[in-house]
Amino acid sequence: MSEHDETRETDAHSGTETTGHEWDGIKELDTPLPRWWLYIFYASIVWSVIYMVFMPAWPALPGLAGETDHTRGLRNHSERANVAEALDELAEMRASGFAALEGASIDEIESNPELLGFVRAAGEAVFGDRCATCHGVGAQGFVGYPNLNDDIWIWGGSYDEIRHTLQVGIRSEHPDTRFSQMPAFGRDELLSRSEIADVSDYVLSLSGVSADAGAVGRGQAIYDVQCASCHMDDGRGDRAQGAPNLTDQNWLYGGSREQIIATIHRGPYGVMPAWEDRLDDATIDALAAYVFLLGGGEDATARPTGQ
């Protein structure tokens, strides 16, 4: 390429040959390409030939390359076939996982590592999709949306009770929804401001927070008449009515005096959608087991409904 050519001139300034082209006294230098650049260039030509032989590369008329519209290469590679295969595999795995889950008791799930792994994976995926917006990604809950990791249950924490909650929802549109409604004592003027303040002090005293003794006494009298039918005489709540335990220092709607007063004033009304018509039975089973296994699941016999 750049063999010395007597007819060519060498540029005195740079010591490089010129191409012989000249415009208005400006001469074109014939600078050789850098070696490293040339090697990469040749290597990529070689690579492209190898690639074309083994991988799909050339568009082809229909029929010439089977069903596709391009050559398949010696490796007969097809991204589309790979994706289809992966999807088939996934569907198969899910189908067999859900089939094994059908009718399994929570004990069987817990003692079978394969089922357990399936429930954790499938449950986590659906939970992230459907439940995390309200209960949080880690099921830790928010004000008004219960934490599902702890062993405190409003409606019940056995596998069957959790599954039932998922099927029918809470104050949902399902005809058999779990339902109850605490009166809005302040808004509907069932109790005066000072009565609500007194009964709030009594509620605080139930979970061991000290409050003015006079107020607690007056509050207790109100509680016995207005509240005990749902939250029970001892304040420990009633699962059959979804009335939370008021003695456990765990608050769905917040445990400061102001928050408790606000809750009693407005009457809380937490709504959880029903999932029966939106998720199939097998998915609800997997979700119920997943929630159960988050840490707070209870034996069906641990505590009778209504405590």
Q: Which residues make up the interface to ligand HEC (CB under 6 A)? A: 130-131, 133-135, 144-146, 148, 153-156, 162, 165-166, 170, 180, 182-183, 185, 199, 203, 223, 226-227, 229-231, 241-244, 246, 251-253, 260, 263-264, 268-273, 275, 287, 291
Backbone dihedral region for residue 226 (phi beyond 0: left; psi -120 to 50: alpha; all else: beta): alpha
What is the gyration radius of the CA atoms in the chain, in angstroms?
Answer: 37
Give the residue with the Cβ less far from ligand HEC, 97 or 123.
123
- Cα–Cα distance, 181 to 243 (Å, whole number): 9
> Would you mind telling me the total number of residues written for the chain in this entry?
307
Dist CA 81 CA 206 (whole Å)? 65
The minimum distance between CB 257 and ligand HEC, in angstroms, equals 11
Nearer to ligand HEC, 55 or 116 (CB): 116
CB of 72 or CB of 203, closer to ligand HEC: 203
Q: How far is the CB of 301 from ligand HEC (least distance, A)?
A: 17
Tell me the closest approach of the beta carbon of residue 87 to ligand HEC, in angstroms.
24
- Output phi, psi for 284, to 5 deg: -65, -40
Quick one: 101 or 264, whose CB is closer to ligand HEC?
A: 264
Number of residue whose CB is nearest ligand HEC: 270
Report, in Å, the least distance between residue 158 CB and ligand HEC. 10
**Which CB sits closer to ligand HEC, 72 or 288?**
288
Least separation in angstroms between residue 167's CB and ligand HEC is 10
Degrees, nearest 5: CA angle 252-253-255:
95
Q: Phi first, then psi: give them for residue 35, nearest 5 degrees.
A: -60, -45
Q: Which two tokens mark 213? A: 């003794």
Q: Are 70 and 59 in contact (CB under 8 A)?
A: yes
Q: Which two tokens stand for residue 202?
A: 């009594």
For residue 75, which amino acid is it?
R
Give whichever of 85 and 299 is closer to ligand HEC, judged by the CB atom: 299
Tell me which residue has tokens 């605490």: 182
Shortest distance (Å) from residue 229 CB to ligand HEC:
5
Residue 209 CB, nearest distance to ligand HEC (Å)?
12
**d(Cα 209, Cα 233) in Å, to the nearest integer?**
18
Q: Is the Cβ of residue 70 or residue 257 nearer to ligand HEC in the bound state? A: 257
